[in-house]
Amino acid sequence: MSGGDEPEGLGESTRLTRAGRRPEWTGRVVNTPVWRGSTHLYASDAERRRAGGRDHDGQFFYGRRGAPTQWSLAEALTKIEPGAAGTVLYPSGVAAIAGCLLAVLSPGDRLLMSDNAYDPSRSMATGLLARMGVETRFFDPLDLAAYAALVGEFRPQAVWLESPGSLTMEVCDVPELAAVARKHEAVSIIDNTWASPLGFAALEHGCDIAMMSLSKHVGGHSDVMMGSASAGDAFYAKLRRTAQELGQVVSPDDAALAARGLRTMKVRLEASTKSAARIAEWLADQPQVERVLCPLLPDDPGHALYRRDFTGGCGLFSFILASDDMKAAGRVVDALSLFGIGYSWGGYESLALPITPHVHRTVMPSPTQAPGSGGGTRPAIRLSIGLEDSEDLIADLARGLAQLDTE
C-alpha cells in the first residue's frame, strides 16, 4: 500500500480511500493510529546525529516536525491534489493563509488580492502584512482587462485568488488570472476551500499554491480546526521551511479526525452539492427571494466557468432577500429549525448565516447593493447544505421565508 506499490490509473474515489495509508504507519490496523509524542528516543547517539542532519518528511526527529499521524494526512492530501509535491498542515485555515503569504512575501513586496476574498485574508493583508511593509491592492477578479493592467503597473510578487468568491460566490477565470500572474513572475495562491481538489484541481489550472481550510469539507463533522497548503517542489519547500520557522504543528488527534473525514469527503460533497442545487433552484422561485448566488444554477453568471473548470461543487451558497429591511435575514434564520445559526460550513449539518458582503468590498460592487449611488442594501443569507433530506430543508426554508409575509 505504500506510494510506490500503488497500481496505476486508479480512480479518484479509490485513491481517496488508500492515500497516506502506508503499512509502516498503519501497522496492522486500517487507519494510521494517533501517534502521541514530543520526544523521539534514539537507539544511539550516532542514530540521533543521523536523524538530526536529515530534515526529511516522514523522518522522526522531534514532535514539532510531526509523526506518522500527521505525515499520513499530509501525504493523503498531496495524493489528491494533482501536481502537488507536498502538503503542509496548519492548526487552522487562517494559519494556512498566513503560512502561504509569509512564505512568499518579504518587506517591500506587493500583493494583489481578489476583492471577494475571505474576510480574514483581507484583514491579514491590511493588518499583519501592512505592518511588515507589504503593500496590498484589491482587484475585481471578474474584470480581466483591469487586472492585467494592474499586474503590469503594480508588479506584485504574489496574487491571492479565491473562487467562488467568499459570500457572493462569483466564479472567476482562475487559469487566466494565474497565467497573467505567472507571466509577470508573481506567485499565484488560491484559497480552494469551497471546491477542494476534488472539485477544482488548482495547481493543474495554473496556480502555484493551493490552500484549504480543512475545518470545512475535510473534517466534515464540525469538530476539528485545521488548514493545509499544497504545492509543487519549489513552493512546497518554501512553505515547509516557513512553517518550521513559525513552529507550526497540528495535534495527532486532530490529524486523525481530519484523515477520517477525508475518506468520505467525495460522497459527502456529491450529496450536499446535489441537495444544494435543488434547494437553490427552489429558492430562486420564491417571491421573497430577490436573487440566488450559486454557480451550480444554470443561469448563474459563474455557471459557464464552473462547468468549464470544476469537477464538483459543495453545499455552500447564498441568497438575497427581496426586502429593504436588513433585519429580515435575522428573522428568517431565527424561524428555521433544521438549520443551525453559525459560522463555518462543510459539516454534515446545515447552517444558515445572515451576511453583509458589501462591508467587505472595496473595489467590486456586492450584489446585495442596489446599483447606482445612494442605492440601498439588501439582506442576504448564506446556507451550508448538509446531509439532511433536501425536502425537509426546503420545508424549513419555506417556514422561514413565510415569516416575511406576516409583518
Ligand X SMILES: *Cc1c(COP(=O)(O)O)cnc(C)c1O
Residues whose CB falls within 8 Å of the CB of residue 307, separated by 6 or more in sequence, listed in order: none
- Binders of ligand X: how many residues, by CB under 6 A? 12
| DSSP secondary structure of 105-165 | --TT-EEEEETTS-HHHHHHIIIIIHHTT-EEEEE-TT-HHHHHHHHHHH--SEEEEESSP
Active-site annotation holds for 238: no
Residues whose CB falls within 8 Å of the CB of residue 232, separated by 6 or more in sequence, listed in order: 83, 84, 85, 203, 208
Q: Which of 109, 115, 173, 191 is catalytic?
A: 191
Which residues 123-152 are close enough to bind ligand X by CB under 6 A?
A: none
Residue 37 CA to its chain's centroid (Å): 29
Q: How far is the CB of 229 from ligand X (least distance, A)?
A: 11
Residue 166 interacts with ligand X (CB under 6 A): yes or no: yes
Q: Which stretch binds ligand X (CB under 6 A): 138-146, 173-181, 197-205, 211-219?
A: 211-219
Q: Which stretch binds ligand X (CB under 6 A): 67-75, 89-97, 98-106, 137-145?
A: 89-97
Q: Which of 36, 49, 50, 64 is catalytic?
A: 64
110-114 and 158-162 beta bridge pairing: parallel
Active-site annotation holds for 260: no
86-90 and 227-231 beta bridge pairing: antiparallel
Residue 227 interacts with ligand X (CB under 6 A): yes or no: yes
Give the residue, chosen from 68, 93, 295, 354, that forms a contact with ligand X under the rule CB under 6 A: 93
Give the residue, chosen from 16, 94, 201, 269, that forms a contact with ligand X under the rule CB under 6 A: 94
Q: Which stretch binds ligand X (CB under 6 A): 87-95, 199-207, 270-278, 367-375?
A: 87-95
Give the residue, chosen from 26, 92, 123, 369, that forms a contact with ligand X under the rule CB under 6 A: 92
Binding characters for ligand X, 264-303, by CB under 6 A (x = yes)? ----------------------------------------
Give the residue, chosen from 157, 213, 222, 272, that forms a contact with ligand X under the rule CB under 6 A: 213
Instruction: State the burial class of residue 163 (Cβ atoms within 10 Å of its Cβ: 0-12, 13-18, 19+).
Output: buried
Give the residue, chosen from 136, 215, 286, 368, that forms a contact with ligand X under the rule CB under 6 A: 215
Active-site annotation holds for 65: no
Active-site annotation holds for 155: no
Which residues 25-54 are close enough to bind ligand X by CB under 6 A?
A: none
Q: Which of 79, 216, 266, 378 is catalytic?
A: 216
| DSSP secondary structure of 162-229 | ESSPTTT-----HHHHHHHHHHTT-EEEEE-TTTHHHH--TTTTT-SEEEEETTTTTT-SS----EEE
Residue 118 interacts with ligand X (CB under 6 A): yes or no: yes
- Look at residues 224, 220, 218, 192 and name the one whose alpha carbon lies nearest to residue 84: 192
Distance in angstroms (rounded) separating the CA atoms of residues 275 and 394: 10
Catalytic residue numbers read 64, 118, 191, 216
* Residue numbers at the binding site for ligand X (CB under 6 A): 92-94, 118, 166, 191, 193, 213, 215-216, 225, 227
